[in-house]
Amino acid sequence: MEEKKLIVYNTLSRKKEKFEPLNPPHVGMYVCGPTVYGDPHLGHAKSYVSFDLIYRYLLYLGYKIRYVQNITDVGHLTDDADQGEDKIAKQSTLEQAEPMELVERYMANYYRDMDALNILRASIAPRPSGHIPEQIESIQKLIDKGFAYEANGSVYFDVLVYNSSNNYGKLSGRNVEEMEEGAANRELEKQSDKRNPFDFALWKKANEEHIMQWKSPWSVGYPGWHIECSVMSQKYLGETFDIHGGGIENAFPHHECEIAQAEAETGKPFANYWLHNNMVTINGQKMGKSLGNGVFCDELFTGDNPQLDKAYSPMTVRFFILQSHYRSTLDFSNEALEAAEKGYKRLMGALKTLETLQPARDSSFDINQIRQNCLDAMNDDFNSPIVIANLFEGVKLINSVKDGKAQMSKDDLAALRQTFNDFLFDVLGLKEEKTGQSDKLTNDLMGLVISIRKEARENKDFATSDKIRDELSRLNISVKDSKDGTNWSHDG
C-alpha cells in the first residue's frame, strides 16, 4: 500500500484537509446520484467520472470502501416545468401512466452510458421508493424532537428551531438572517403551510396529478427530496460517515438540508468530508435545458447532435473530463474534444510502443520521478490533469527510446509499465477501446494487403502502393511505414 498522504478539499471548511477516515481501512462514501427522469448528459458524465476518479484512487490507496449512490425514482416525475405541460400531456398516456416504466428505462440508459465511460458501479445503489418506511420513521423522529411540524398533511423542517441550537448554512456559507433578507427582496410566493419561507418539506401531501403516492401518518403523499439522501446514506454508512459528494449546484439547498435533517435527528456530525464537483459549460455558456444546448452522452458517442462535428468515443470523453480538475468548470467544444481525442490516441499509442521496447543497460531518465509526481498530484485533491501531464512525459520518453534517442534499463521499463498500468488504467480509469474488428481473418487479409504493397514499394511502383494506402484510408485504416516494417490500425 502506498503511503497515504491524501489531501482533499472539504467544502465544509473551504480548505484542503488531510483525509482521515473514521475507521481505517474502511471508508464510507455517499454520492448523490441521478434522478432518472431523462437521459444522462455531459454534466452527469463529468460528475460521475469525477467521483469515479476519487473512488478509484481510494481503492488504489488500499482503502476498503462502501460506495453508495442513490438512484432517485421518487417525487419529481409529475411533469417537467421547463418543458411545459403540453409536451408531456401530448406524449402517450402510457408514458405518463406508469412512472416506474420511465424509471426503468432511464436507469438502464444511465448505466449504459456510465458503463461505457468505464465508471465503476457503486457498492449499493439504493432507491428511495424502496426506503419509504425508513424515511417516514426519520420524519417522525424529527417531529418528536420538535424539529419538524405537520401542516395540512405535509411535514416541514423547522429551520429556525434547528438554527437555534445548530448552524444552518454551515456548508454553503449562508446564514438564516441573510436568507430572510434575500427572501424579502425577492418577494417569494407565500407558502402558506410553512412557518418560514426557508423551511423545507419532509413529506408532501399528494395532489391528484401526482402519480407516486404512499401512505404515511400524515397523508397519502411522497417524501421530500432531501430526506432520501440523509436516510439512505445513514442506513448503509452509519450516522456519521466519511465522504459525501455531489455536484456543487446541490450544495444549497440539498446538501445543507441533508445535514440539518441528519444532525437534528442524531445529534451527531453527518459527513466529515464534503466533496463537490463543478459544472460543464458549452462554448463558454451554461449547459441547460432552457438554452437548448444540452448534449446527451449517447449523442456524444454517436455524434448525433447539431452541436457536434463528429462522434467522440467514451474514452475520449473521459480523457477530456480528466484533463481538467474536478472542482473546475469544464468548457466543452468540438475543438477541445478533438484535441482530447488526439492526445488520448497518442497516449495509448505510446503504451503499445512501450510493450515493444528493448531494455538497455541503464536509463537516461528518472522513471521514479514520474511515478512520484503522479502520486503527489493525486494526493493533492485528486489532480488528474497533472497526472496526465506526467504520463505525457512518459510518452515522450517511450518514443525517444523507440527512436534510439534515449534508453531505459530493464527495471525502469518494468517500472514505467507499472506506472502506466496503475495510473492510466486503475486510477484514471481509461482503457483501450476496441476499434473495429481485428479477428484472425482480418489480420491475415491485412497481412496480405500490406505484403502486396511492400512488393510494390520495393519495385518503386508507388502508384500501386499509394493507391492501396489511399483506399485503406477510406476504410478508416491508417498505414504507417517505419524501418521495422509497416503497421496498420483501424479507427472505428
Site for RNA in 215-274 (CB under 7 A): 224-226, 228-229, 248-254, 257
Q: Does 455 bind RNA (CB under 7 A)?
A: no
Q: Nearer Cβ to RNA, position 64 or 286?
A: 286
The minimum distance between CB 432 and RNA, in angstroms, equals: 16
Tell me 129's DSSP state: G
Closest CA to 102 of 40, 33, 36: 36
Q: Does 469 bind RNA (CB under 7 A)?
A: yes
Q: Provide the mask over 272-291, with x wherever binding to RNA is found by CB under 7 A and - wherever it is not.
A: -------x-x--xxx-x---
| Residue ranges of E strands in 140-295 | 148-151, 154-157, 200-205, 214-215, 220-223, 241-247, 271-277, 280-282, 285-286
Q: Nearer Cβ to RNA, position 26 or 454?
A: 454
Q: What are phi and psi of 488, to 5 degrees?
A: -130, 155
Q: What are phi and psi of 345, to 5 degrees?
A: -65, -40
Q: Does 18 bind RNA (CB under 7 A)?
A: no
Residues within window 114-133 making contact with RNA, judged by CB under 7 A: none
CA distance 260 to 262: 6
Q: Is 31 helix (H, G, I), strand (E, B) or coil?
A: strand
Q: Does 454 bind RNA (CB under 7 A)?
A: no
Task: Read off the C-alpha cell for 25.
Answer: 481501512
The minimum distance between CB 283 and RNA, in angstroms, equals: 8
Residue with cell 520495393: 458
Helix-helix angle 440-458:462-474, to 10 degrees: 150
Q: Does 174 bind RNA (CB under 7 A)?
A: yes
Residues within window 409-448 making contact with RNA, judged by CB under 7 A: none
Q: Nearer Cβ to RNA, position 6 or 251?
A: 251
Q: What are phi and psi of 136, to 5 degrees?
A: -60, -40
Q: Which member of 402, 422, 425, 433 binds RNA (CB under 7 A)?
A: 402
Residues touching RNA, count (CB under 7 A): 95
Using CB under 7 A, which of the segments 50-58, 94-102, 308-316, 460-468 binds RNA? Answer: 460-468
Residues within window 41-70 making contact with RNA, judged by CB under 7 A: none
Q: Nearer Cβ to RNA, position 70 or 272?
A: 70
Q: Nearer Cβ to RNA, position 54 or 257?
A: 257
Residues within window 339-358 making contact with RNA, judged by CB under 7 A: 339-340, 342-343, 346, 349
What contacts 24+ positions apart, CB below 8 Å, involve 141-146? 141/265, 142/202, 142/261, 142/264, 142/265, 145/264, 145/265
